[in-house]
Structure 1
Amino acid sequence: MDEESFKVKWDAATRAEILAEGMSRRGLEAAVRSGELVRARRDHYVAAATPRAVLQAVRIGGRLTCLSLLQLLGVFVFACDTLHVHIPRGASRLRSPRNRAKPLRRGSKRGARLHWSPLARDEGGTSACVGVIDALIHSVLCQQARHAVATLDSALNKGMITALDLAEIFHALPAKFAVLQTLVDARAQSGPETLVRLMLRGLGCHVDLQVAFEQVGFVDMVVDRWLVIECDSKAFHSTWEAQLEDYRRDGILASYGYCVFRIAAEDILYRPEQVLASLRGLVATRRTLR
């Protein structure tokens, strides 16, 4: 068996599959002793480089899915403090994610969120993860609506899914989620941007995303053709040099007649009520002055 396939695809293989590929029983035991392979559960193995969340999903008896998988792939999720695992119908002898010798305790916070519904794309094979389409379907069911839209925006923006895939996702979801499809926008560069855009839509504003200005470049969004909003994260705006560049960009935008409002990504995520209040105040003041 090609070990590289484990590293790249996060595969899992049974003992029978490994032996069928030509590895001897003694060779398999040696690979486990050396740490090249890990016995996730009885007769199921993964490569040593497999991410911990994937290993734990296999140990339980399923495949990684939903927020756990998307987070691992770099797709925006608001929070993921529980392991999400898809379990095939009829599965039994589910084990603890931390100890393959112990049964899984249902309802335990140290357990996992189990997804039992049939997959939209059951690709089978040896993958230890569901496909991105099914992970996104599960993510809509497991998050608040606005966070689900941000996750879908992120997957589209990163090129992980297409517009046709998006239609398939909503076709597989209950009809009550259909309204969310109209809110998805692949231009959003980050989860916080999506969340602010949804706040502004709720206030009845017109929002343009990723608008280019001469001498400035692209800004995150322009609201009602007068307000520029930038969603700043610590990763790109923490140094004085970066802040100075921001001030200069804001000055140029002011010379074009635009006001600029910068919002910290941390506040968008964890103080949304205050952010919404600020946006409401700005919008109301502008409308009053007209």
Structure 2
Amino acid sequence: MNVHHQTRATLLAQGHTRRSIQAAIRTGELIHVRRDRYLTPDVDDLVVRAVRVGGRLTCLSLLALLGVFVLRNHQLHVQVAPGAGRLRAPDDRQRPAAAIRAGAVRLHWTEMPEVPQSACAVGVVDALVHAILCQPPRAAVATLDSAVHLGLITMWQLAEVFARLPARFQVLGTFVDGRAESGPESLIRLMARRLGCEVRLQVSFDGVGRVDLVLDGWLVVECDSKEFHADWAAQVRDRERDLALAGLGYCTFRVTAAAIMYRPDEVFAALRGLILSRRAV
């Protein structure tokens, strides 16, 4: 995200005067975020709030803004330099310490000399490093899958992410697969691997189309979201696909994205029951 704040000096160099700067703030053409930090009104509010705190947008906040899958996030994640002072709350209704204590803000105290001083967000690699440290392992893998799938990082940059992390995180790299087209798909793949399943992703069948996963050569898993499966016509198409797959000798396990994300224990138990039923035969 290539967003930079401006200072009074840069605005004056562009031809503004002190009077015109004040006029631009009154008319909403400029936002005076904090002392000597100005942004234009088209900048996302998350970025504005991070700069108001005194740092740069990072971690889950930045990644979600870029469209990367994030399992859960109820905080504003801000990178600040170690020893930084004069931190503020993201809005004027709270004191900084109160916002942090309440969990509204998560500060990442890291030096980033390579990032321009005027940058309002860290780079994607830095955000992913923070995201791995901030999430449980399965959620971190799903986030990495998503970043690779969206083309936001290359495999070389993925290696760079892990090079910046402690050794205990290196094992997560072996689970990353950019073919996953959604976070829930990544999460259920990890469940299947935990059960020792052979996993195939994005498998195409003649007369059916592409399915999310095939486990152990017989169980098709489809991760349904409201976006694509809400109306009756979509549900009919799903049932027709299931019928066609049954004719080919496949069973279908269809589960909602919400269940995968927020009731993982139930989904894992159901998946385990299905897999073990066939293995016991």
Q: What TM-score, normalized by structure 1, do the two folds share?
A: 0.93
Show the 5 A alignment for 1:174-189.
174-189=166-181
Given residue 24 of structure 2, which amino acid in structure 1 is its aligned partner?
A: A
Quick one: which of 247, 252, 257 aligns to 1:260? 252
Residue 74 of structure 2 is matched in structure 1 by 81
Structure 1 residues 93, 75: CA separation in 2 closer, same or farther (over 3 Å shift)?
Answer: same
Query: Hey, what's the Cα distance between the residues in 2 that align with 1:101 and 1:176?
Result: 37
Aligned pair partner of 2:152 in 151, 157, 160: 160
Deviations 1:177-230 (A, max 9, x none): 000000000000000001100001000101010011111111000001101000
Return the offset for 1:53: 1.1
State whether structure 2 residue 164 is matched by structure 1 residue 169. no
* One of 174, 179, 187 as aligned partner of 1:195: 187
- The Cα shift of 1:128 comes to 0.6
1:133 is aligned, of 125, 134, 141, to 125
Structure 1 residue 58, shift from structure 2 partner: 0.3
2-side partners of 1:210 and 1:77: how far apart? 21
Which of 207, 226, 229 does residue 221 from structure 2 map onto? 229
- CA distance in structure 2 between the partners assigned to 1:253 and 1:106 by the alignment: 52
Q: Counterpart of 2:50?
A: 57
Partner of 2:8: 15
How far off its partner does 1:111 sit?
4.2
CA distance in 2, matches of 1:176, 1:92: 32
Please say if residues 185 and 212 of structure 2, whose CA atoms lie closer than 8 Å, have aligned partners that are also in contact: yes
Of the three residues 186, 200, 207, the one matched with 1:208 is 200
- Once the two structures are superposed, residues 122-141 of structure 1 have per-residue CA deviations (whole angstroms, 9 ceiling, x without a partner) of 33153211111100100000
Corresponding residue for residue 4 of structure 1:
none
Q: Do the aligned partners of 1:221 and 1:230 also contact (CA within 8 Å) in 2? A: yes
Among 131, 135, 153, the residue aligned to 1:143: 135
Query: How many residues are aligned here?
Result: 281
User: What percent identity do the matched residue pairs reach?
Assistant: 53
Letter in 2 for 1:194: S
Pairwise CA distance, 1:104:
4.4
Contact 2:89 2:99 in 1 (8 A): no
Instruction: Specify which of 3, 26, 29 is matched with residue 33 of structure 1.
Output: 26
Q: Does 1:243 align with 2:235?
A: yes
1:270 is the counterpart of 2:275 = no
Partner residue, 1:5: none
Q: Is the 8 A contact 2:74 2:104 kept in 1?
A: no
- 1: distance between equivalents of 2:62 and 2:115? 16
8 Å CA contact 1:104, 1:111 repeated in 2: no
Q: In the alignment, residue 240 of structure 2 is paired with which amino acid? A: R
- SS at the partner of 1:211? strand
Moved over 2 A (4+): 8-11, 100-107
Tell me which amino acid in the other structure corresponds to 1:216: V
TM-score by length of 2: 0.96
